[in-house]
Amino acid sequence: MRHLQLNWFSSAGRRGRLSAISTAAVVALLTSALSACSSGHSGHGAFRYPPTDQEGSWAPNSHAIVFASDRGPPFSGRFDLYTITVDGTHRRKVARSSVDLEDASWSPSGSQIAYDVSSLEQNRIWGPRGIYVVRPNGTGRRRLTRGPDENPLWSPDGSRIAFVRSPWPQAWKNAYLYVMNANGSGLHRVSPRKLDVSDFAWSPDGRKLAYDTLDNGGIYVVSSRGGFTFAVTTDRFAGGPSWSPNGREIAYRLGVDLPGPLIVAGVHSGRVRTVARDVSDYQWLPDGRGFVLERKGEIELLRLDDHTIRRLASGVAPLVSPDGKEVIFEREGQDAWAYGPRRSTVFVVGIGGRSLRPVTEKRADHRSATRASSKVFLAKIWLKM
């Protein structure tokens, strides 16, 4: 902890009294803020320390989502897996581990959630990594794979799971695309050894997978059983493939980690067209007639029939509900701590841009979190004086 220097004047003592008051104020602010944080994380009273909530996947019925949050013990750095209804009620912890939330995937039947584990509960940096499944009520947790496996994604019929086996800790090796049955059997590699897989998507009929690569770039299509691979594009900046709902086209972005054009390419026709620019993230609408986009920190709706773009809300990482009526996304908040991660909350908005509301953090909790953050922020200012 940083020490405060107290400058005393022996004559009048006024400076000394002011310094003592300043010290007392800092101590009071820090005590109050830390008390608010610890009481919130311990589960007694309102949650007061602003959590980092990150979306994962919609439930098939469009009534709930799965998300990860660090709303556990303060400063643990651990993300637990939760489900919650989109009206902000019935929050339930379903898995306790460090998970990469983008890798949480709800099965098409709604009976299971697949996710990957990046570390153990017992305070070890690296533990038994692998793909796990759990029921939405938190029971029936099972481990399906062992190793540095990431990004589990259910096939459209729910019978199989595809994932990427990363090369960690041997970073010089390639990451490969694997497919297994929903119970963990029948594991087999489907991507060629020469390609380093990054992102992928199932075709609507579950017979193929589209994926991008980190080494030589491009979007490729392969059978879910493995074998022959053909290129949709060999552009080295292409990434983030996604099949159209009818399976005839594949969308992808140009720009890798930077905003870029959104391209739609015919799988067999070869027709290629640019439908939007400066896109950071996107998702097809369930009817295939447009996209929800993330552009310059805004969530937007793109209609392909009339090429109109409509702003829905400010945020990042949009995900459209299976019924196409709502979009969840993340909003970042100002973090009051010096070196901590930026705090984020999951919001939902109607596809028409109405009914914007928070999902994972109630407004009352948000006000408490803001007050706690403000106290720490003021204390930091005092420390710098």
Residue 38 lies in a domain: yes
Alpha-carbon Rg for the chain in angstroms: 24
HSE (CB half, 13 Å, CA atoms) of 229? 21
Q: How many helices (H) and strands (E) does the chain have?
A: 2, 29
Q: What is the DSSP string of 319-334?
A: EE-TTSSEEEEEEEE-
Residue 207 lies in a domain: no
pLDDT tens-digit series, residues 310-322: 999 999 999 999 9
340 with 378, same domain: the answer is: no
369 with 342, same domain: the answer is: no
Integer Cα distance of 95 and 136 in angstroms: 9
Integer Cα distance of 385 and 380 in angstroms: 9
**pLDDT at residue 28, rounded to an integer:** 52
Residue 266 lies in a domain: no
**pLDDT at residue 209, rounded to an integer:** 98
* Rounded to 5°, angle at Cα 52 from 49 and 58: 130
284 with 335, same domain: the answer is: yes
Residue 41 lies in a domain: yes
**pLDDT at residue 80, rounded to an integer:** 85
290 with 348, same domain: the answer is: yes
Q: Provide the residue range defining the domain that includes 7.
A: 1-50+361-385
330 with 289, same domain: the answer is: yes
**pLDDT at residue 363, rounded to an integer:** 54
Q: With CA atoms as reference, report the closest residue to 197 among 153, 156, 247.
A: 153
355 with 376, same domain: the answer is: no
Helix (H, G, I), strand (E, B) or coil at 337: coil
Query: Is-contact 240 212, C-beta < 8 A?
Result: yes
**pLDDT at residue 333, rounded to an integer:** 66
Which DSSP category does 38 fall into? H
Q: Which residues, listed in sequence order, are joined to residue 160 by a DSSP beta bridge?
A: 181
**Tens digit of each residue's pLDDT, the chain (385 residues):** 333 332 333 334 433 443 444 455 544 544 554 444 444 444 444 444 577 888 779 999 999 999 988 886 665 667 888 999 999 999 999 987 654 445 899 999 999 999 988 654 444 444 467 899 999 999 999 999 988 888 999 999 999 999 999 876 666 578 999 999 999 999 999 999 878 899 999 999 999 999 999 877 899 999 999 988 899 999 999 999 999 999 999 999 998 778 999 999 999 888 999 999 999 999 999 999 999 999 999 999 999 999 999 999 999 999 999 999 999 999 986 443 333 445 788 999 999 999 999 999 875 444 444 444 444 434 433 444 4
Model pTM above 0.85: no
322 with 375, same domain: the answer is: no
Query: Is-contact 144 165, C-beta < 8 A?
Result: no
**pLDDT at residue 19, rounded to an integer:** 47
- Tell me the C-alpha to C-alpha distance, in Å, between residue 207 and each of 113, 216, 339, 361: 22, 25, 46, 39
Residue 376 lies in a domain: yes
Residue 154 lies in a domain: no
CB neighbour class for 229 (10 Å; exposed up to 12, middle 13-18, buried from 19): middle
Residue 106 lies in a domain: no
Residue 128 lies in a domain: no
Q: How many domains does the chain have?
A: 2
Integer Cα distance of 382 and 378 in angstroms: 6
pLDDT tens-digit series, residues 222-266: 999 998 889 999 999 999 999 999 999 999 999 877 899 999 999
Per 3-state DSSP, what percentage of the chain is helix, strand, and coil (rounded to 5)? 15, 40, 45
286 with 323, same domain: the answer is: yes
309 with 379, same domain: the answer is: no
